[in-house]
Structure 1
Amino acid sequence: MITIIFIITILYLLLIGSFVYGFDKVPDFKLEDIPPKTKFSVIIPFRNEADNLPLLLASISRLNYPKTMFEIILVDDGSEDDSVEKIKNCNLKGFNISVVKNIRVSNSPKKDAITLAINQSKYNWIVTTDADCNLPKYWLDTFDNYIQNHNPKLLIAPVTLETVDSFFKRFQLLDILSLQGVTIGGFGINKPFLCNGANLAYHKDVFNEVNGFEGNLHMASGDDIFLLEKVIKLDKNSVHYIKNAAIVVTTKPELTFKNLKSQRVRWAAKTSNYNNVFSKLTAIAVLFMNALLVCLPLLYLAQIVSLKTLVYTYAIKFLIDFLLIFKTARFFEQGHFLSSYFLSCLLYPFFSIYVAFISVFTGYKWKDRTYKK
């Protein structure tokens, strides 16, 4: 038993340690004062987002980018509230903004919505975000600046949570920060495997070259990860991460445990369909480590392992995770939320294993729709 514990712990330590190392290997992107050249089609699918759309639309109105150089395509995926009315009544004079109705052709409404919008888009660079997001002022400027200075085909940019005013929300934030840290660290060790569709940009040609979301339409989610895997397979060097605070998109945490569980089950459900070997091995290593931490107290009570083994194992995970999250929180300027780290660290393995377990046997609810396993 001690040998198994040792192997799992060392593998996890090396894995997260590599992300910590990789985090610093990704250079901070410095913005230059250059005239904008890139034209963007910003695609935002939505369904029953009447409460969130005002904040999104207000952030669009504050974008610094020339209005003639981007369009906003909002795709209504069968909203049953007054989302469309909120858009029609918003004050976005001078903006090229349109609302189109989604056409369902698969089991993935969001992928259908994005594909429909891409087919109707005017410009070659596609940018996606979500209806519950808040966009920074220099969002498109940063994308344009990076595109002019490099030759990317797919760009991944940072996402974090805002309005984090309770322990439940800070718990979610620390989880998101860990995922963002792993995303950045993965690029630093030349093993990119994570991204977030709330802040993603890609050239229309590469989307068409990899046949869009074909092959993954049976999965309701994954419009970001599966596309990333395809583009990496096509041309890994054309996939870049923009490490710059000016492009950070913020979104809201879930308000209830039920919604959080459903969200995490949805995320867990797609991991079995990953094609990237490194992402699968990472998921397995994290799962085994969390399962070990859940089992260790029981093994100690059964006198199978010593208290020293239990404490050392917890301490190793606590410290290596903290180092990665600390670096990420500092980048996002959210270090003041680390006060909730200790308790979150103790609770997270149990939450993670619970989600992994129920994701095997149950479906999930997303945007008021139920998806079966």
Structure 2
Amino acid sequence: MTIFLLVISGLYALFTLLLWITWLRIPPGQLPGGSITDGPRITVVIPVRNEADNIRNLLDDLSRQTYARFEVIVADDSSTDATLSIVQQYAQSAPFALRPLPLTNERTASPKKRAITQSIAIATGDLILTTDGDCRVGPNWLASYAAFQTQTGARLISGPVTFTDEHTVFDALQTVEFSSLIGSGACTMQLGVPTMCNGANLCYVKEVFAEVGGFAGFDHLASGDDEFLMHKISVRYPNGVQFLKSPEAIVRTGTHQTWRGFYNQRKRWASKWRAYDSYLPSLLAVFIFLCNVVPVVAVLGWCLDFLNGNVTLLVIGLKLVPEFLFLRQILVFLQKKSSVPVIPLTQFIYPLYVLFFGLAAQGKGYYWKGRKLT
């Protein structure tokens, strides 16, 4: 037992240090001097449902973009609030091409994939850039993507996502936990084995979406409009998936204010790993699960007096120290340095969190946007 715990902990320490070094080696995205006038045309696709409280803020952000070659399609998925009417009214005076797309209230396994697919069908842009109706973006968001895609020729670009201002410890914990996902996803792209990305800040070439058959093959799953598509594109273009490491490209969204909302989102994310075609993301998910089980087992072993206290401290240290170095680096990049002191608390809670959602994901179904999805 002792050898097993030490081996898993050692492997995790090496893995986390590899991520840390890889993150430091990702070249930062740079905007060229002056405005960009001849870059690719971008279609921003925003699938929404019941975002009346948020959508105007995002549209205002898009009105302040420094890059002019873009259009926006807001695909409204049968909102029961004023979302659609707000977008339609905004379109009358918007300083950019804004196209509301009302969707019928038909039953589908993945409403978001349907919204994106129908939006792409009418899109005029060379690049598709997706985000969510409750997100906020900076004035150089589009310019950073246009410049990066022109410079690299990337077929899919994943961007950084974080949360808006934290007001509670629960908010800060979400920020730290989410930064680990963003950082890990970025590093695996840099290593040429992409595993994770986020549809709240995801860009891909429109023609490539058609080449890989869009969401075909996983359109029966409620989640995965981001990661499964990325995996399909990475198979066709092994070097074509990249991460945009630029503060200008950061998308911000609100933290979950209720446990129920947090639970349903994390259960939705955790449920995806069983559907991966590639063995690597599934293997990584199992590895991370084991690495978070090990400290719990070590502490229990010490409490029950069948594991040496020094071994327990070593197991815990091999997890905590490399993790702290990595998470701190990601949080500083995401302009969340104020959340760094919360890292130790997150590290204490996270193993229990992983165990809980790893087991919860085995059950089918969750609620999202007022609907029960499977």
TM-score interval, normalised by the smaller of the two chains = over 0.9
The answer for the alignment partner of 2:75 in structure 1 is 75
Give 1:94 deviation, angstroms. Answer: 2.8
Post-superposition CA distance 1:214-266 (Å, at most 9, x none): 00011101100000000010011122211111111111111111111111000
* Aligned with residue 354 of structure 1, among 353, 356, 362: 356
Quote how far apart the aligned CAs of 1:108 are: 0.6
Matched, 1:26 2:15: no
1:187–1:241 Cα contact (<8 Å) kept: yes
Contact 2:74/2:100 (8 A) holds in 1 = yes
The C-alpha deviation readout for 1:156-213, integer Å capped at 9, x for no partner, is 1111111211100000000111111112221332222211111111111110010000
State how 1:1-373 maps to structure 2 within 5 Å.
1-33=1-33, 34-66=36-68, 69-90=69-90, 92-103=93-104, 104=106, 106-372=108-374
Distance in 2 (alpha carbons) for counterparts of 1:304 and 1:364: 40
Deviates more, 1:92-101 or 1:204-213: 92-101
Q: Which amino acid aligns with 1:277?
A: Y
Q: Secondary structure at the match of 1:90?
A: helix
Give CA-to-partner distance per residue, 1:329-367, whole Å, 9 cap, x none: 121121121111111110111112111111112421111
1:105 and 1:227 map into 2 onto residues whose CA distance is 22
Structure 2, unpaired ranges of 5+: none
The one-letter code matched in structure 2 to 1:314 is I
Moved more, 23-32 or 103-112: 103-112
When residues 125 and 188 of structure 1 are mapped into structure 2, their CA distance, relative to the original with a 3 A threshold, is closer
Q: C-alpha distance in 2, partners of 1:359/1:232?
A: 26
Change (3 A) 1:81 1:105: closer
TM-score (norm 1): 0.95
Give the conservation status (yes or no) of the 8 Å contact 1:45–1:114.
yes
Q: Specify the code of the residue in structure 2 equivalent to 1:247.
A: A
- Write the letter of the residue equivalent to 1:43: V
Count of aligned pairs = 370
Give the distance between the partners of 1:4 and 1:44, measured in 2 at CA.
Answer: 47
Give, in whole Å, the separation in 2 of the partners of 1:241 and 1:343: 28
| Amino acid of the structure 2 residue aligned with 1:184 | A
Amino acid at match of 1:192: P
The answer to whether the Cα contact below 8 Å between 2:58 and 2:134 also exists between their aligned partners in 1 is yes
Structure 1: stretches of 5+ with no match in the other structure: none
Question: Structure 1 vs Structure 2: percent identity of aligned residues?
Answer: 30
Cα deviations by residue, 1:64-108 (Å, 9 ceiling, x for unpaired): 222xx2111000111111111222343743321111122557411
Distance in 2 (CA, whole Å) between partners of 1:113 and 1:99 is: 12
| Residue range with higher mean Cα deviation, 275-284 or 338-347 | 275-284
Contact 1:19 1:188 survives alignment (8 Å)? no
Once residues 55 and 314 of structure 1 are traced to their aligned partners in structure 2, the CA distance between those partners, rounded to angstroms, is 43
Letter in 1 for 2:190: G
* Residue pair 1:50, 1:81 contacting (<8 A) in 2 also: yes
What is the CA distance between 1:298 and its match in structure 2?
2.1
- Distance (Å, rounded) in 2 between the aligned partners of 1:246 and 1:177: 17
CA distance in 2, matches of 1:307, 1:218: 49
Once the two structures are overlaid, the 10-residue window that deviates more, 84-93 or 278-287, is: 84-93
CA contact (8 A) 1:26 1:187 kept: no
Matches of 1:147 and 1:125, distance apart in 2: 9
